[in-house]
């Protein structure tokens, strides 16, 4: 196959020796099928083995290869060098997240937020294996399935201006997954999650830009989940306000 060459400008940063990030340009050969991730792998394998970035499945499933490509959050395994040629390609780590090294970011904040929402089914009742599985209709499954497609790629966090301004904000992916479990007919954990939803750092911190849904590679639509959570938060407040004094005691 015919090969061409493209210049890839990569952000470099080693906190052990660099005072601030800088850019380094590499000339990379490519064919029609070469992904941006494969371009980075060529740099690491053939030009500079110290280049650091994350990747795993190469099939838009694991979510680990998310980076900024010409300023846009993208999975590098599903972006192709041909679409950026003949222009120059700039690759940077995901915005709004601390850089660990080069193109790899520190995911600690997101993982703590994810843990806080209890991203698992809290059953309504204890069941033994002899009782059989929890049953669910197709309609009940449809209520949450879209939001269960999240692969934790963090592209939505890089796209979210509110998270960029306030790292305390829960963020799109965590709220989408929170909504996924609250909408599951098998789950009884909504009351435990509502304090997170109702907080200023929860759904009410969202400024409704919607860019998170535009960059989502799996069509999760976290902006929709946030809006639905705002409805749930409003209803939660209303019912607590209308409840007779002492009813919850």
With a cut of 70, say whether residue 117 has pLDDT above it.
yes
Q: Do residues 214 and 208 make contact, with C-beta atoms less than 8 angstroms apart?
A: no
Distance in angstroms (rounded) separating the CA atoms of residues 198 and 164: 20
Q: What is the pLDDT of residue 245?
A: 56
Range 122-127 average pLDDT:
87
Per DSSP, which regions of the chain are E strands?
A: 4-12, 22-30, 66-69, 72-75, 89-92, 99-101, 104-105
Using one digit for the tens of pLDDT, what is the confidence trace for 60-86?
A: 999 999 999 999 999 999 999 999 999
C-beta separation of 3 from 33 below 8 A: no
pLDDT at res. 125: 83
Using 50, 70 and 90 to split pLDDT, how confident is the model at 36? very high
pLDDT tops 90 at residue 234: no
Average pLDDT over all residues of the chain = 93
Average pLDDT over residues 99-104: 98
Instruction: State residue 126's pLDDT score.
Output: 84
% of the chain residues with pLDDT over 70: 94
136-145 residue pLDDT tens? 999 999 999 9
DSSP letter assigned to residue 187:
B
pLDDT grade for 249, boundaries at 50, 70 and 90:
very low
Domains, the chain, ordered by start: 4-104 (3.10.20.30), 108-242 (1.10.1060.10)
**What does the pLDDT average to over 99-111?**
97
Looking at residues 88-97, what average pLDDT do you find?
97
Give the pLDDT mean for 92-113.
98
The band of 178, judged by pLDDT with boundaries at 50, 70 and 90, is very high
The H or E element spanning position 196 is helix 190-198
Average pLDDT over residues 175-185: 96
Task: Give how far Cα 202 sits from Cα of 129, 152, 153, Å.
Answer: 36, 18, 20
d(CA 76, CA 71): 13
Lowest mean pLDDT among 16-25, 143-152, 230-239: 230-239
């Amino acid at each position: 196959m015919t090969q061409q060459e493209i210049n890839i400008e990569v952000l470099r940063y080693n906190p052990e020796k660099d005072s601030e990030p800088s850019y380094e340009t590499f000339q990379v050969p490519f064919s029609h099928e070469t992904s941006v991730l494969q371009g980075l792998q060529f740099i690491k394998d053939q030009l500079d083995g110290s280049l650091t970035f994350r990747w795993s499945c190469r099939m838009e499933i694991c979510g680990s290869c998310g980076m900024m490509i010409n300023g846009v959050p993208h999975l590098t395994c599903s972006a192709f060098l041909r679409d950026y040629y003949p222009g120059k390609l700039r690759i940077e780590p995901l915005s709004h997240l601390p850089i660990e090294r080069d193109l790899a970011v520190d995911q600690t904040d997101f993982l703590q937020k994810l843990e806080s929402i209890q991203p698992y089914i809290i059953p309504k009742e204890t069941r033994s294996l002899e009782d059989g599985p929890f049953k669910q209709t197709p309609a009940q499954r449809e209520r949450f399935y879209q939001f269960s497609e999240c692969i934790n790629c963090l592209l939505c966090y890089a796209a979210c201006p509110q998270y960029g301004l306030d790292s305390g904000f829960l963020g799109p992916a965590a709220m989408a997954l929170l909504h996924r479990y609250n909408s599951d007919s098998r789950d009884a954990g909504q009351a435990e999650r509502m304090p997170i939803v109702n907080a200023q750092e929860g759904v009410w911190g969202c400024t409704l830009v919607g860019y998170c849904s535009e960059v989502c590679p799996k069509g999760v639509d976290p902006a929709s989940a946030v809006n639905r959570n705002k409805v749930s938060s409003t209803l939660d407040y209303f019912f607590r306000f209308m409840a007779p004094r002492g009813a919850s005691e």
